Amino acid sequence: MPRVIGKDVGPIGYGLMGFTWRPEPTPIDQAIEALKAALESGLTLWNGAEFYGTPDCNSMTLMKAYFTKYPEDADKVTLVIKGSMDITTHKLDGSPEGTRRSLDNIIKQLGGTKKLDGFAPSRRDPNTPLEVTFGVIQKEYINTGKLGAVYLSECSAETVHKAAKLAKIGAAEVELSMFSPDILTNGVAEACAQHGIPILAYSPMGRGAVKILTGRFRTVADMQDRGITSSFPRFQPGAFEHNLKLVHQVEEIAKAKRCTPGQLAIAWVRKHSNRPGLPTIIPIPGATAASRVRENAKLVDITEDEFTRISDMVKNFETAGKRYPDSVPTNT
């Protein structure tokens, strides 16, 4: 069983973004039902952010509601939250003041219902030395028992190497999917393996492609309920239609294997875990309905031949559009 921040977690984790970072947040009863389904299905690592939503409706307010209803579940969940970003302007702030503000707010909003197991600056702040940010986190929060560990988010290989010299890094949250296999070749996965840092693979089904893969999105217009994601380059006219070609190939393989395309996508990400030169890799798909959570949690194993076939398919497909708009920092 994988371990993250000193705790056993399942081979698949759970991303919380979709509940609150959207035009209409998921109804609270539906969200709590989905969270319960995740825990019961073995998805015990939950990943959120201070900026996933509004000051009054975000990952922490959702967690407080859940653990108020199910206090017995608090110790069963490994909760990691990103911050150090202004909630309204989304400006990075890894300064001592910004780091304290973020961590204090996260802990306050959890309201004592759940200890914060991991905290990550959402991106590396170019205006603040990493050792300054980490120094505050270590001295004022980890050493005092308020926080379990620091982890990294959307990081470069250079940041992984530097961070590993400054602190014990609990994990690295980076994107990995058939649409975004970049970390396998840009040094990030290799650096994490070198330092024994597990990877939390976000968007393992390709962001909005999760609904493409499940047949719910077939046109650009179908993407409009996705909030911020609908503005991303890969889901614009032209790029969207091109990227559907990869979806169709995935669908064919999934049909032959008698699993869903989404399950196949998650299985492909999982198959990378602890292969030669790679660290533990835990996909963290999101889902806002209990039925979809259970579907994603089903462990589908793929053979070496299937893995090679899919990997070759991915290598030979050039995804259209960048992962993020130019205004969003990446590989920091």
pLDDT tens-digit map of 289-316: 999 999 999 999 999 999 999 999 999 9
Question: What are the chain's domains?
Answer: 3-207+264-299 (3.20.20.100)
pLDDT tens-digit map of 129-169: 999 999 999 999 999 999 999 999 999 999 999 999 999 99
**The token pair that represents 21 in the structure block:** 């970072």
CA atoms within 13 A on the CB side of 56: 0
Catalytic residue among 52, 66, 141, 151: 52
* pLDDT number for residue 331: 82
* pLDDT number for residue 326: 72
Residues 6+ apart with CB under 8 A from 179: 206, 207, 209, 234, 243, 246, 319
Residues 6+ apart with CB under 8 A from 48: 15, 16, 17, 58, 59, 60, 62, 63, 79, 80, 81, 82
**What is the C-alpha to C-alpha distance for residues 240 and 159, in angstroms, rounded to an integer?**
32
Q: Does the active-site annotation cover 52?
A: yes
pTM of the complete model: 0.93
* pLDDT number for residue 325: 73
* pLDDT number for residue 211: 53
Q: Which residues of the chain have pLDDT under 70?
A: 207-230, 233
Determine whether 253 is exposed, middle or buried from the number of CB atoms within 10 Å of its CB (0-12, 13-18, 19+): middle
**What is the C-alpha to C-alpha distance for residues 18 and 274, in angstroms, rounded to an integer?**
28
Could you give the dihedral angle defined by the CA atoms of residues 249, 253, 259 and 264, in that order, rounded to the nearest 10 degrees? -70
**What is the C-alpha to C-alpha distance for residues 92 and 196, in angstroms, rounded to an integer?**
27
**Using an 8 Å Cβ cutoff, are 261 and 247 in contact?**
yes
